[in-house]
Amino acid sequence: MKKKATADFGYREVPEEHKAGLVREVFDSVAGRYDLMNDVMSLGLHRAWKRFAVSQCHVRAGQSVLDVAGGTGDITALLWHAMEGEGRIVLADINRAMLETGRARLADSGLFGKMAFVQADAEHLPFEDQAFDCVTIAFGLRNVTRKQQALEAMFRVLKPGGTLVVLEFSRPRLGPLNAVYDRYSFAWLPRLGRLFARDAASYRYLAESIRRHPDQETLKTMMERAGFARVRYFNLTGGIVALHQGYRL
């Protein structure tokens, strides 16, 4: 009998077909306080990480851009401003609660109607081949069940010459501070989740999912395997976060 495929859900191994549902439950729970928790967890640093990511997209007015796992829309808004308000931009997310939160947030910013919102799985993007000049995914890849398949899907929808930018938690290069970082992740992060979002378990999963995500060199290799060329990465805040960039030639 063929062994059933499994996927990581934090430190647990679950049947592959169950992971998406479990991740959906996490983000259904945290959607309403997701932006607040990002500020609390990162001490506001996530804003600088995202601005740097958008600067590496090199988008221009009139281009087509896809923000995968775009969630509450902060990257989408930055991209729209970088495009000078001209072009096509799509915010895609598999989670309806996150998508609705993003739609409401962007409406409050006066950006509703200027972009499209699509509920979509990163592994099965419902777009034509070579449809976008740039694809981004920020803090979403680690939640995908089949990461290699998602990278291949993002390659497929990129135009020749197009750019993929992946912003994700990675392997810190902090030396003696690693123990402090671990304590923060596994002791304080769930406590902050309980305090600000009334949900310790979801933030425990998020800490575990960071540790299970491929490290910098592994993700670079995965992108190259998906077809991307000139792949490189930047370590941010000592490697707590890494930005990977690749091109479809």
Residue 14 lies in a domain: no
Return the amino acid letter for 84: E
Domain count, the chain: 1
C-alpha closest to that of 20 among 72, 96, 91: 96
| CATH code for the domain in which residue 63 is found | 3.40.50.150
Residue 143 lies in a domain: yes
Is residue 145 within 8 A of residue 123, CB to CB? The reply is: yes
Residue 21 lies in a domain: no
Between strands 158-169 and 241-247, the pairing is antiparallel
Token look-up 């792949």 returns 231
Per-residue pLDDT of the chain (249 residues; tens, 9 = 90+): 556 799 999 999 999 999 999 898 888 888 888 887 788 888 899 999 999 999 999 999 999 999 999 999 999 999 999 999 899 999 999 999 999 999 998 988 888 778 999 999 999 999 999 999 999 999 999 999 999 999 999 999 999 999 999 999 999 988 877 888 888 888 888 888 788 777 888 888 888 998 999 999 999 999 999 999 999 999 999 999 999 999 999
120: containing domain: 26-247
Question: What's phi and psi for 113, nearest 5 deg?
Answer: 95, -10
pLDDT digits (tens, 9 = 90+) for 197-229: 778 888 888 889 989 999 999 999 999 999 999
Residue 1 lies in a domain: no
Residue 6 lies in a domain: no
Count other C-beta atoms under 10 Å from residue 178's C-beta.
13
Residue 8 lies in a domain: no
Residue 5 lies in a domain: no
Residue 10 lies in a domain: no
